[in-house]
Structure 1
Amino acid sequence: MKKTILAFGLLIFSHYTFAQSNLKNAVNKGKDYIVIQAGYAGLTGTGANTLHMGFNRTLNIALVYDIPLNESKFSLGAGLGVGADNFYFKKEKIDITSTTSPNRVASDNYQKSKLSTTYLEIPLELRFHQFQHDLNRGFKVGIGIKTGYLLNAHTRVVTNVTGRNVTETESSKYWFNTIRFVPTARIGWGNFAVYGSYGITPVFKSNSTYSLKAYSVGLSFGGF
């Protein structure tokens, strides 16, 4: 997951650096923007109340192109990005390699545990800009939806074994829906905004244990 995000981030950074060779003009005239979002991720739905989670985190990085709608203050934003969610658990883990369903397994020996998912995403937004010719300032609102394809899903557990911490990583996409749809909303000023998202596609395929949907809230940085 980290390597995927790092590689995508470096690609975007190199593109952005090249495109912004004349920063003063690009700020006002450029139509492609890096959008970075970081915040809290949560799970809701059937089975969520049985999980003992810590402070879950999400990180999204995307390169988005802004398409003005005539001379109005509205535009469409479309792009390509990577989104990663990390869910942390206390004294338990989610067994995603089970042959029957994803299961919660509890143990006092579990020191740390997390479930991580990484998606390749296509965001699409309808946007309102106070200043249509300078997307880096003024009041802005955006509503849209992201379509994501699951690149990786894995768990990482640190277990105490006879006084030593042993890290075990298991990777499997079998129980996960590989395509997800996530409505999004943002409101902000200049290059900063608060955002929220709610996945309408369950994290896991239909099973007898969990019907979980992921949501997130946090801060967004970047021109839009």
Structure 2
Amino acid sequence: MYTFKKYYLCHRFKQRNYMKKSLLIFALIFVAFSAKAQRPDLPGALVFDFGFNSWSDKPTGADLNWFQSKTVNATYFYDLPIGKGGFTLTPGLGMSWEKYTFDNNTTLVSSISNGQRTTEVVDLEDQFGSLSFDKSKLGLFYVDMPLEIRWYANRDKYSRGFRVAAGGKVGVLYSSFTKVKFQDALGDNRMLKDRKELGFNRFRYGLQARVGWGGFAIFSFYELSDKFDNPPAGGADTRTLTIGISLTGF
């Protein structure tokens, strides 16, 4: 049976976590630089991606709520022109926050046995007891280095006109955690957040593409690397597919 003293409990969701604080900071930066009069004259562009996540070959029992499983990326890109045809080689550096919401009252747990880590998908009641559960989430935070080849229809002003991009990115997993919201025996709302190793592959790589006009675009990202280094049952070939929109701050 789960012992609450081993973990951090938050009453009525008053505790702000690291991800929310970081998103607020980047949202403020985006708003500050969105006004034309305040845009700095920088050679690159700060791009925000907002997307929805799904898993291919998901672990057994790890069904996702697609609408509540989201990614937010904040990336600084720098265009390096290739010739005079509107093509650029565009490297970048950014951060990625991935959230996955489980749809069937399950969560991920990991343990170490004989010097090796094992990861499992478990039922919340088996892990925490008979409680009224609201949401069960998984959070992953990556530092990414993307590289794209872009084509701009407006060769003189990249921030205007039609554009397409294709490339990929590599990333390093910085942190992972699970979060469960529930009601205790007295009916009070509680939240349990546990930051820990969960058997994910520390390094990832994949393909991404964009198509857009001006400061708006549609993007997609597909992992080619396995999601898990120590996969739970059924998760040996799990990969993330993200589809969403991109907004350019400056």
Rate the CA distance shift 1:197–1:113 in 2: closer, same or farther, 3 A.
same
The offset of 1:125, in angstroms, is 0.3
| Cα deviation code 1:53-108 (max 9, x no counterpart) | 22211111111111111222100111111111111123423223334323232447
TM-score (norm 2): 0.76
The offset of 1:31, in angstroms, is 2.7
Listed as ranges, the matches of 1:2-81 within 5 Å are 2-6=20-24, 9=26, 23=39, 26=41, 30-47=42-59, 50-54=61-65, 55=67, 56-81=69-94
**8 Å contact from structure 2 (residues 226, 239) kept in 1:** yes
Do residues 97 (structure 1) and 115 (structure 2) align? no
Q: Residue 3 of structure 1 aligns to which amino acid in structure 2?
A: K
**8 Å contact from structure 1 (residues 40, 216) kept in 2:** yes
SS of the residue aligned with 1:101? strand
Do residues 114 (structure 1) and 140 (structure 2) align? no
Equivalent position of 2:219 in the other structure: 195
Q: CA RMSD in A?
A: 2.7
Query: Which of 166, 172, 180 is equivalent to 1:149?
Result: 172
Gap regions ≥5 residues in structure 2: 1-18, 113-117, 126-130
The offset of 1:11, in angstroms, is 9.9
Rate the CA distance shift 1:5–1:119 in 2: closer, same or farther, 3 A.
farther
**8 Å contact from structure 1 (residues 34, 64) kept in 2:** yes
The offset of 1:223, in angstroms, is 7.4
**8 Å contact from structure 1 (residues 91, 106) kept in 2:** no
1:167, 1:22 → 2: CA distance? Answer: 40
Rate the CA distance shift 1:10–1:46 in 2: closer, same or farther, 3 A.
closer
The offset of 1:22, in angstroms, is 7.7
2:89, 2:246 → 1: CA distance? Answer: 17
Query: Which of 183, 188, 198 is equivalent to 1:160?
Result: 183
Query: Which of 203, 206, 210 is equivalent to 1:186?
Result: 210
The offset of 1:208, in angstroms, is 4.8
**8 Å contact from structure 2 (residues 172, 204) kept in 1:** yes
- Number of corresponding residues: 215
2:205, 2:189 → 1: CA distance? Answer: 38
**8 Å contact from structure 1 (residues 12, 34) kept in 2:** no
Q: Residue 62 of structure 2 aligns to which amino acid in structure 1?
A: L
Rate the CA distance shift 1:204–1:145 in 2: closer, same or farther, 3 A.
same
**8 Å contact from structure 2 (residues 91, 148) kept in 1:** yes
2:174, 2:22 → 1: CA distance? Answer: 9
Gap regions ≥5 residues in structure 1: none
The offset of 1:205, in angstroms, is 1.0
Identity, % of aligned positions: 28
**8 Å contact from structure 2 (residues 119, 198) kept in 1:** no
Do residues 214 (structure 1) and 240 (structure 2) align? yes
TM-score (norm 1): 0.84
**8 Å contact from structure 1 (residues 87, 116) kept in 2:** yes
SS of the residue aligned with 1:41? strand
Higher relative contact order at CA 8 Å, sep ≥6: structure 1 or structure 2?
2
